[in-house]
Amino acid sequence: MDKNIIEKYEKWKNDPYFDKKTQEELIAIDGNEKEIEDRFFQDLAFGTGGLRGVIGAGTNRMNIYTIRKAAQGLADYIKSHGDTAAARGVVIAHDCRHFSREFTLEAASVLAGNHIKTYIFDDLRPTPELSFALRELEAIAGIVVTASHNPPEYNGFKVYWEDGAQVATETAEAIMESINQVEEMSQIKQMPQKEAIEKELQEILGKEMDKKYMDAVLGQSLRKDGIQRMADGFKVVYTPLHGTGTYLVPEVLRRAGFKQVITEPKQSVPDPDFSTVKSPNPEEKEAFTLAIQLAEKEKADLIIGTDPDGDRVGALVKDHEGNYQVLTGNQTGALLVEYILRSRQELESLPSNSLIVKTIVTSEMGTKIAENYGVDVENTLTGFKYIGDRIKYYEEKGSKTFLMGWEESYGYLVGTYARDKDAIVAALLIAEMAAVYALEGKTLYDALLQLYQEYGTYRETLKSITLKGKDGMERITTIMNHLRSEAPNHLGKDSIETIEDYKKMPGFPSSNVIKLMMNREEWVCLRPSGTEPKLKIYAAAKGVSIQKTDEKLQQWVEEIEKMIARI
């Protein structure tokens, strides 16, 4: 085992700076070289979602010490921008996960110790409210303690900058450099919460900020008349999957005019173990088992679910047989694009310079719809921070008006009051859209089939290959390097026309992504996850029927998997 790994392990195990519980946890793995290596072979690094990892003792784990180090690095970076930046303060929010409150208070104590004011919420709040509050308070930065929809053993530390978006690549690298310069943890500055409050270095946020945020969300509604006309007869079942949405989504829907909002009771209780689901992920139908049972009992028109930190949303709608079907992130996004642009056109509120922004792994169906309305679409790398960056760019330039940003992984933002994906506004607009279509005698399933008929059958799939630990990281690097040097020229019977390597793609930050293009609308894309030990294989195709298009996608993914197995 590497000498550096052993030295780190021994220091954590024996240095009195680390608490007894931490050291007992490390003593318990003494002699287990693979476990020690996995915990200490690296420091947690910033990915698309900042720091994220398994909770536990070690430099490659989430714990109070990695939080302190990250907070000190962030404090040093903020102070490098001068006293004015430090005086603006940092907003911190957290979800319901294990140690989320403890990690929040640790980060706040470090920032206060560096004479940087913090604003912390009185309880858990959704991630997009952090983005909104940061902008509302004109703070210099923000932190969300969350691991989004990861399994219960994970937590994370997402950093936002003054525009309200997650830190962009250059800023993230600069913060990471500051974090890496914190070599001796015992030198990290901290201030107890009581002292910080007395010195006006900490302020608690509560209902007043919630109201301002909900007002901003409700301001994105387009068809209040449609909601009012369907209010009595339209039923929505909602599940927060034990997360932060429980406090705001039902309230927003009721304030919008929905009178029959039924919340799944068991999953409305915040629970760090997410005990009623295998995974608290609205991308997976299994997470909606209890909500479907409730919806069938209540004869609900729509099911909506949000992930633990309230930034991703999933929806289920009835098909022609009366069964609830999960809409994919791409399908929901395409429906929202059509609904928003159609409504704005009818209401004569569609700016001539309108812009929609999506990621490179998101379906081209939304692009096709937007083009039909004369609306520009731009692509970004995966990660909503890149969409937030485009909002900032065009606000400063003034040449385009941002309407909506979306990504295939169930993330949407409508409006510019926040700079991160927002499941609360998406839940509102999905429900509103479904109610308006119901007035026309259609379900969202009908509306989707209508889009297929008009624009073509766009279908997508995602396959993730889990490769854990140091060996897994090396394996992913080997696979990506091989594909760069020996990329295939066909998948099955389909020729690959071009290969887009985003390590050197003009107009994009360098990123470890390869996209094999059959044509503009059909492709396979490979990228390592920025938040989990996974290699992700995305595929998109367009056809004349659902079955044949899905078969083509399956063939492409199988070809890629066989190729990877040979590497």
Tokens of 236: 């929505």
Q: Which residues are catalytic?
A: 148
8 A C-beta contact, residue 92 and residue 205: no
CB-CB contact of 208 with 125 (8 Å): no
pLDDT digits (tens, 9 = 90+) for 83-101: 999 999 999 999 999 999 9
C-alpha angle with apex 453: 448 to 455, nearest 5 degrees? Answer: 90
pLDDT for res 231: 84
- Residues 171/150, Cβ–Cβ less than 8 Å: no
The whole-model pTM stands at: 0.95
| DSSP codes, 106-158 | HHHHHHHHTT--EEEESS---HHHHHHHHHHHT-SEEEEE--TTS-TTEEEEE
User: 437 is written with which tokens?
Assistant: 């279509």
pLDDT of residue 59: 96
* Size of the chain in residues: 567
Segments making up each domain of the chain, as ranges: 1-41, 45-205, 213-455, 458-566
**CATH homologous superfamily of domain 45-205?**
Alpha-D-Glucose-1,6-Bisphosphate, subunit A, domain 3 (3.40.120.10)
Helix locations, 240-328, DSSP H? 249-256, 289-298
Going 243 to 385 to 485 to 496, the CA torsion angle's sign is positive
d(CA 333, CA 365): 9
pLDDT at 48: 56
The class level of CATH for 458-566 reads alpha beta
Nearest Cα to Cα of residue 70 among 43, 39, 88, 89: 43
Question: Is CATH 2.40.50.140 correct for 213-455?
Answer: no
> What is the spatial distance between Cα 58 and Cα 32, in angstroms, rounded to a whole number?
14
Residue 163's CB: how many other CB atoms inside 10 A? 19
Segments of the chain scoring below 70 in pLDDT: 46-49
Q: Find residue 203's DSSP bridge partners.
A: 119
Q: In what order do the strands lie in the sheet with 522-528?
A: 457-466, 534-543, 522-528, 514-519, 498-501
Burial of 153 (0-12, 13-18, 19+ CB in 10 A): middle
Same fold, 213-455 and 458-566: no
